[in-house]
Amino acid sequence: MSVTGTLREIGLFPVKSTRGLFPPSAPVGPDGLDGDRAFAVLDAAGDVLAAKRHPALARLTPVPSPAGPRLAVPGDVPLEDFLGVPGAVVGPVPGGARQVAAVHVVTVRQRAAAGAGDTSRANLVLDLPGPDEPPAGDWVGRGLRVGAVHLEVVAVPRHCGGAFARVRTPGTVRVGDVAELLPAGPG
């Protein structure tokens, strides 16, 4: 049985471990939402910094620019001073900084569930009203259509709610698009 709802929110995270942007629409390519986690804060050696070890990253907001995102740093101090990391800069990450799959999807119900963990960094938040929403583990192997985009659910996160998906058919998603979790099997 398919389950139908709507796309409630789009989350785009241009710089890994920093705050997100929440546009009304976003192009989705074979590797996920265009520009999502394509950049990271790098130390002087070129290693990617993560919020687990550098929690101040979560206070930074990306600002889009033609040359790639820059970060709005509180007090307009240099990034390396704010983080306490010499040589810290925003730079591209070849292949992106995603950890599991191209797209992280979560539903409103999954996000509100006890023990859901931090789902604030999901790319797509779906509203699947009614009692028919299956547990996220039952999504694996199923297709998910959001507007013109077709995803395939491939895994569930270990530390937060929702599901991870790969892109089968690219396109553009828009808040308000119909979202349909397809029945198991070919889709």
Give the torsion through C-alpha atoms of 163, 110, 118, 152, to 10 deg.
Answer: 10
Judge whether residue 114 has pLDDT over 80: no
Output the average pLDDT for the chain: 90
What distance in Å separates the CA atoms of residue 138 and residue 153, rounded to the nearest whole number?
Answer: 10
pTM: 0.89
Judge whether residue 66 has pLDDT over 50: yes
Q: Is 112 strand, coil or helix? A: helix
Select from 2, 36, 16, 15 the least CA-distant residue to 173. 36
Lowest mean pLDDT among 77-81, 88-92, 133-137: 133-137
Tokens of 82: 């704010």
Judge whether residue 110 has pLDDT over 50: yes
pLDDT of residue 99: 65
Judge whether residue 140 has pLDDT over 70: yes
What distance in Å separates the CA atoms of residue 51 and residue 76, rounded to the nearest whole number?
Answer: 20
